[in-house]
Amino acid sequence: MMENRNSAGILGTGWYVPERIITNEDLEQMVDTSNEWIVERTGIHERHAAALDQPTSDLAERAARMALEDAGVAAADLDLIIVATLTPDRVMPSTASVLQDRLGARQAAAFDLSAACSGFDYAAVVACQFIETGVYRHILVIGAETMSKVIDWTDRNTCVLFGDGAGAAVFGSVEDGLGVQSFDLGSDGSGSELLQIPAGGSLKPLTAEALLMHENCVHMDGRAVFRFAVRILGETVEKSLAKAGLKKEDIDWLVPHQANTRIIDAAASRLELPAEKVIVNIGKYGNMSAASIPVALAEAAHAHRFRKGDLVALAGFGAGLTWASCIMKWAKED
């Protein structure tokens, strides 16, 4: 970390998932699949889904309020709100702006960030730059998704994977030596078509024909994405460790994107981490895209699994193709 910079870290966390639960047994009634097939290949048993009239901003607000309370920071004292999402309430305005009003964060700037499942790590890194340079004091970072609204529920290859939820963290200055130590961000746009929502943007506006073809929903080359993820998840953590002058054995906790247990296991093996050092909650939530990492992080934090000074590695990958990791020394007192 550069000299004469503030140390930036997490002051508090929060999360929220909708009440409705869709089990694998429910999906057996909808598409040609089975509980055994889903669990064996993904590790997912169930996922949560928002109500039809429940937008992403609602999930984000609930997680945000919990994080603010945990941090002991008032909404009025926020300088910036960043919402990482691929399922915003609307194309415009930003979901972050909607959230700023609901929270009463009158002094805060606000914007959305789009990096799919890597979004929370990307947003966290952006937030830390403002804090380290002293530009802002308190920044609310949220990963929030309503993936159920962009899933083709007749496509058994994708509908079994995703869930809805929101995770939030308040970032601010922390004790010197603690907080974010290093990060790695990356993208390979040559793989942009491997995981995408084809219609709804300027490239292919939403039309009746596009809706008929379910092009407003997630399309994925599962095998190609799996191969990419198995390689990149461990690799990005190694890069972040090297930047901080740290080694694999220094990691106390890995909080990975919750996409597939086989991918998580591959990363843990590469990093030589035992299962008890890896935070996994995919079984009950599925892949919540940008909400995946912050929900896992918040659940673990509120379960008192982290101790002050623990080295925590966050790592994600997603559409873009993108990847991101962030190494931090946990700064919050238990």
Residue ranges of the domains in the chain?
7-177, 180-329
Task: Measure the CA–CA gap between 80 and 136, rounded to whole angstroms.
Answer: 8
Match domain 180-329 to its CATH number in 3.40.47.10, 3.30.230.10, 1.10.645.10, 3.40.50.970.
Answer: 3.40.47.10
| Direct distance between the N- and C-terminal alpha carbons of the chain, in angstroms, rounded to an integer | 25
CATH number for the region 7-177 comes to: 3.40.47.10
Single out the catalytic residue among 6, 24, 48, 117: 117
DSSP class of 200: S
Single out the catalytic residue among 48, 159, 257, 260: 257
Single out the catalytic residue among 138, 217, 287, 326: 287
| CB-based contacts of 315, cutoff 8 Å, min separation 6 | 121, 233, 234, 236, 237, 254, 255, 256, 257, 267, 293, 323, 324, 325, 326
**257 is an active site residue:** yes
What are the backbone angles phi and psi of residue 148, rounded to the nearest 5°? -60, -20
pLDDT tens, residue by residue, 234-277: 999 999 999 999 999 999 999 999 999 999 999 999 999 999 99
DSSP string, 235-249: HHHHHHHHHTT--GG
Percent of residues, the chain, with pLDDT higher than 70? 99
**281 is an active site residue:** no
Q: How confident is the model at residue 3 (pLDDT cuts 50, 70, 90)?
A: low
The reply to whether domains 7-177 and 180-329 share a CATH topology is yes
Phi-psi region of 294 (alpha: psi -120 to 50; beta: other; left: phi over 0): alpha
CA dihedral 129, 133, 134, 140 (to 10 degrees): 0
**117 is an active site residue:** yes
Sort strands 80-84 and 195-196 into parallel, antiparallel or unpaired.
unpaired
Estimate the share of the chain in helix, then strand, then coil, as percent rounded to the nearest 5: 40, 25, 35
pTM exceeds 0.75: yes
pLDDT tens, residue by residue, 277-303: 999 999 999 999 999 999 999 999 999
Task: Measure the CA–CA gap between 138 and 123, rounded to whole angstroms.
Answer: 14
Question: What is the mean pLDDT of the segment spanning 216-229?
Answer: 96
8 A C-beta contact, residue 139 and residue 79: yes
Q: Which secondary structure element, helix H or strand E, spans residue 75, and what is its range?
A: none
The b-or-e profile of 282-319 (16+ CB within 10 A means b, else e) is: beebbbbbbbbbbbbbbbbbeeebbeeebbbbbbbbbb
Q: Which secondary structure element, helix H or strand E, spans residue 296, and what is its range?
A: helix 292-302
